[in-house]
Amino acid sequence: MHWDFIVILLFFGGLVPWLGRRRVHQLMSLPRTTKMDRLTLYASTMAFQWAAVTVILWRATAHGIRPDQLGFSMRQPALTASLSIVLSGLFFANQVFSVSRLASRPSELKGLLPQLALKVFPQDNVERLAFVALVSTVALCEEVIYRGFIQFVFQDVTGGRVLLGILFSAVFFALAHFYQGTRGLVSTFAVGLLFAVVRTWTGSLIPLISAHFVTDLTVGFLAAVRLRGKSQESTLVATTDNDSSSTGQSL
């Protein structure tokens, strides 16, 4: 394996998970995030991901890797279009169901991911516009990184063993979401496996970019409204209960 590919893999397998976890700890230590905090987070994430993809495409091109080998192709238009629609629809339905179920369980709103969502998801139209740009970047860049480059590299260095390419692609994708805890690792590993299989089947990143975009946009817009509303209700109930308790004690 080329030395620069090794450096890239070490970066995404080790440094990226650590940086992600550190950033989440910093966000969770804040009582609340401001509009500037969220917009800065969106901008820095986009800059980082575009820089990473630029380096990857530069080094891949330098070693003679063609765009179609990284998934920039549409060899089977009908299959690719069909899977784009089906995957996007399935992940949209799953996100709507998951957010609705979470919102119906106030006791779970204190968990890491709901609290993180309340801090980072958009709260007004300006932030929503910036969030669309963020989701577009993440959907494209992460698919190029994990299902394009990493999947190809491991399949190539193992002599064309497709299963190893799929497996390592999913492992690296899960590690990138290490900040989500054990539950997040398991779920993103499963999604990574599914996406890598579709990438192998179609030879294209298009269905994955589409599903990734719909997934992140849906949860970002829906959770921002549903979870924030439920969180405010829970806070109000807790405050009322405390006031009642204090009144009862004084009586």
> Tell me, what's the pLDDT at 239?
38
Residue 137 has pLDDT above 80, yes or no: yes
Residue 241's pLDDT is 45
DSSP 106: G
| Whole-number percent of the chain with pLDDT over 70 | 89
Is a pLDDT exceeding 50 seen at residue 248? Answer: no
- Residue 231's pLDDT band, with cuts at 50, 70 and 90, is low
DSSP strands (E only) in 81-170: none
- If pLDDT is split at 50, 70 and 90, which confidence band does 224 have? confident
Please check the confidence at residue 246 and state whether its pLDDT lies above 50. Answer: no
Model confidence at 117: pLDDT above 60: yes
What DSSP state is assigned to residue 123?
-
pLDDT of residue 240: 40
Please state the φ and ψ torsions of residue 124, each to the nearest 5 degrees: -145, 180
Which residue type occupies 137? T
16, pLDDT greater than 50: yes
CB under 8 Å to 38, separation ≥6 — which residues? 119, 120, 122, 123, 127, 130
Q: What is the CA radius of gyration of the chain?
A: 21
- Share the mean pLDDT of the chain: 87
**Is the confidence at residue 104, as pLDDT, over 80?**
no
Segment (H or E) for 43: helix 35-62
What pLDDT does residue 250 have?
A: 37
Q: Predicted confidence band at 215 (pLDDT cuts at 50, 70, 90)? A: very high
Give pLDDT, residue 108. Answer: 66
Global pTM reads 0.87
The mean per-residue pLDDT over the stretch 58-73 comes to 95
8 A C-beta contact, residue 206 and residue 74: yes
Q: Of 159 and 86, which is predicted with more confidence?
A: 86
pLDDT at 103: 74
Residue 116 confidence (pLDDT) above 50? yes
Q: Strand, helix or coil at 180?
A: helix
The CA distances from residue 87 to 47, 108, 110, in Å, are 28, 28, 30
| Residue with more model confidence, 234 or 163 | 163
Q: Which residues contact 157 (CB under 8 A, 6 or more apart)?
A: 1
Q: How confident is the model at residue 99 (pLDDT cuts 50, 70, 90)?
A: confident
Confidence (pLDDT) at 129: 96
In this structure, of 92-106, 115-129, 187-201, the range with the lowest mean pLDDT score is: 92-106
